[in-house]
Amino acid sequence: MKRLSLLFLIFVFAQITHAQIFSGSGGVVPENGVMTSFPLVISGVSAEQLNSDYGLVMVTININHNHVDDLEVYLVAPDGKTIALTTFNGSNGDNYTFTKFSDFATQHITTGWAPFTGVWNPEERLGEINNGQSANGSWSLAIRDGVNNDREGTLVGWSITLGPNATTPFLFTSSNLPIVLIDTYGQEIPDDPKIMAGMKIIDNGPGQRNYLTDTPAYDGFAGIELRGSSSQSFPKKSFGLETWDALGEDLKVSLLGMPEESDWILNANYTDKTLMRNTLAYQLFQNMDRYATRYKHVEVVLNGSYHGVYVFSEKIKRDGDRVDIAKLTNTMNTGDPLTGGYIFKIDKSTGSGGDGWVSDYPPPAHPSNQTIFFQYEYPKMDDITPQQKVYISSYMDSFEGALAGPFFDDPNNGWRKYAVEGSFVDYFIVNEISKNVDGYRLSTFLHKERESLGGKLRMGPVWDYDLGFRNADYCSGDVVTGWAYQFPCEYDYWQVPFWWQRLMQDNLFADHLKCRWETLRTTSLSNEWFNNYVDSLALVLNESQQRNFIKWPILGVYVWPNPQPIPTTYAGEIQALKSYLQTRLSWLDQQMPGYCNPASLNENDALPASIQLSPNPASESLLVETNTPFGKDLNISILSISGKVVANYSGTTVRHDANIYRIDVKNLPAGMWIVRLDDGLRGANARLVISK
């Protein structure tokens, strides 16, 4: 542990000599996962309110526990304000021995190891307590042992120090981002089930500033719960949301320009200090004309306290505007309706995990008898019927059996009989660009349409990439070269399915992958696009990230599993991400297998087409040109940016052999629109600007 500087020791001594110390009770810290509170009642403090002149300056804890990284420790003030002092820190060590927390400490608690002694910077600022409330009243130290491992501990004692020159909450009044305000009415947010909360969203539209005093775009109720698995160990939590009516029933609404629905996610991105790794992955998939969750960066105020920058996004869900597959009810147990649609995933059983089935095919590395476990996502585990369970598990068994079989690469009777090749190509590309350490093996979604509507298995949507793009210091997550699908940690419980190694033995798959890669690298995934996306989003976030890292002072601080070296500024984090992308893309350019024969693409119905619009901007008439023939059931539609269909056209062929269509757009208002071509087998989108 680093020695405290002489200057800091002088500062601490000066604080204590003009301060009051109040001690609280101790007791047993049970290891049952329940939060235990240890009270401290203060009375007789003459200062009317806690502020910078006189406020909370230090908290001291003394805990005997032989595995302190099991512990969460919070301070609760008389007004209910709660701050995280330390959560799951200590690297399997023992004890907090007269451990002091101060906003002026030189070392952050997340960087240390037990036994903890000396003075440390807490995970949240003590200054959040100094919000004008009275010091007199009931305080408490709240401790939870989150791991059931027979390691009961003891809080020997604790104290708080009130004194001069205290830090205070920073003033948050407005943002260039939308603002989400949540009030849990004094309730603690549980992991499950959702509790009723009030929610307001202030969103004055693109380019407009949002003030806390503005009229909300949404003012109603929401169900809220904690979300995530390992991410729940971080003090900045992610949340699952449902928009509710006053009776707690689902209420479909359009939020932040996204299509109407009731299920949403607030993603904290705590370990990702660029605040954009997840959205970068979503945008990559969208650039490939695949559905990925729509998103908006927002700033969150929780129970009156600023909580930081979040990503507000759609939850992966069956819906015409999300994963657009057929509805499957519990009465659809025979015939064509039984065949779809389904959504399932490979993931941990914690978090939002649930029931499912084990694959008959183990991963390539399974020295500890690891298996691949599929979990039901839609229908949910409480709704799916026995017949539906049998169907989807049997279908996956047929797919895996064909892929593992001797004729797996047969274009008609091999694995392509059961799966859409293009979705596997595009999913592979996103995971390899990001070199996501969790890629392919966790948060891996798949979906299957009804047979009469296409029927085959598809990869995606993409989800959970905050440990991608070189943001993990284990299992080669910090190594820019190499393939993510060749996961190098064979004793990790969660392994990559055998599919990807087998697919790379299919020469036709490799050729299609090569063609797709070369096309994307000259269009929607060029170096220029990556630089523009990262730079433009960093510019948008530049104001809000400053507030986020005052609330969560982790810039330059190791947060599991950040790789070294750790940038000390937000600009440094952005530059590190851009440097990774440049190096990684160059490596993939050189290493991508296969040989691209463009003529073969017309034979592959699975690969998405692309379209060009002219003129663009347009005002009256528009030519739509495609690179691939569409079928006779072609539909041309115009959608709003939020995804709502506003016009449909049959299209008048100008030159059929060149796949060019003319449509009339003179009735469309000025603005940004999406042109979509779809014939039931493939689809393609392009952005259109209407000028008047």
> What gap in Å lies between CA 76 and CA 15, rounded to an integer?
22
Q: Which domain range does residue 237 map to?
A: 174-314
Kindly state whether residues 77 and 131 are assigned to the same domain.
yes
> What gap in Å lies between CA 426 and CA 416, rounded to an integer?
15
Last residue of a domain, one of 295, 314, 333: 314
Q: Residue 146 half-sphere exposure, CB side, CA atoms within 13 Å? A: 17
We report the CATH number of the domain holding residue 667 as 2.60.40.10
pLDDT surpasses 70 at 49: yes
We report the CATH number of the domain holding residue 154 as 2.60.120.260
Q: What's the rounded mean pLDDT across residues 478-496?
A: 97
> Position 672: which residue type?
M
Q: Give the whole-number percent of the chain exceeding pLDDT 90.
A: 71
Kindly state whether residues 149 and 188 are assigned to the same domain.
no
> Position 147: which residue type?
V
Q: How many CB atoms lie within 10 A of CB 118?
A: 16
Q: Containing H/E element for 164? A: none
What's the Cα-to-Cα distance from 211 to each of 180, 201, 296, 458, 537, rounded to whole Å? 11, 11, 17, 43, 21
Kindly state whether residues 159 and 19 are assigned to the same domain.
yes
Q: 526 lies in a domain?
A: no
Kindly state whether residues 47 and 102 are assigned to the same domain.
yes
> Position 621: which residue type?
S
Kindly state whether residues 122 and 182 are assigned to the same domain.
no
Strands (E), 367-461: 373-378, 444-448, 457-459
What angle, rounded to 10 degrees, do the helices at 527-551 and 277-287 form? 150
Rg, the chain, Cα only: 27
Kindly state whether residues 158 and 14 are assigned to the same domain.
yes
Q: 136 lies in a domain?
A: yes
594-634 confidence digits (pLDDT tens): 998 765 554 334 445 567 788 888 888 888 877 666 666 67
Q: 238 lies in a domain?
A: yes
At residue 657, the pLDDT reads 47
Q: 448 lies in a domain?
A: no
pLDDT surpasses 90 at 134: yes
Hey, is 423 helix, strand or coil?
A: helix
Kindly state whether residues 158 and 198 are assigned to the same domain.
no
Q: Give the whole-number percent of the chain exceeding pLDDT 70.
A: 91
CB 462 within 8 A of CB 433: no
Per-chain mean pLDDT for the chain = 90
Q: 181 lies in a domain?
A: yes
pLDDT surpasses 90 at 408: yes
Q: How many CB atoms lie within 10 A of CB 218?
A: 17
Q: 321 lies in a domain?
A: no
At residue 5, the pLDDT reads 43
Q: How many CB atoms lie within 10 A of CB 378?
A: 19
At residue 689, the pLDDT reads 84
Kindly state whether residues 118 and 200 are assigned to the same domain.
no
Give the pair of three-digit tokens for residue 506: 């299919």
* Domain count within the chain: 3
Kindly state whether residues 292 and 179 are assigned to the same domain.
yes
Torsion-angle region of residue 549: left (phi > 0), alpha (psi -120 to 50) or beta?
alpha
Kindly state whether residues 62 and 140 are assigned to the same domain.
yes
Mean pLDDT highest for which of 312-316, 453-457, 651-655? 312-316
Q: What's the rounded mean pLDDT across residues 561-567?
A: 97
Last residue of a domain, one of 314, 329, 349: 314
At residue 650, the pLDDT reads 64
Last residue of a domain, one of 142, 163, 184: 163
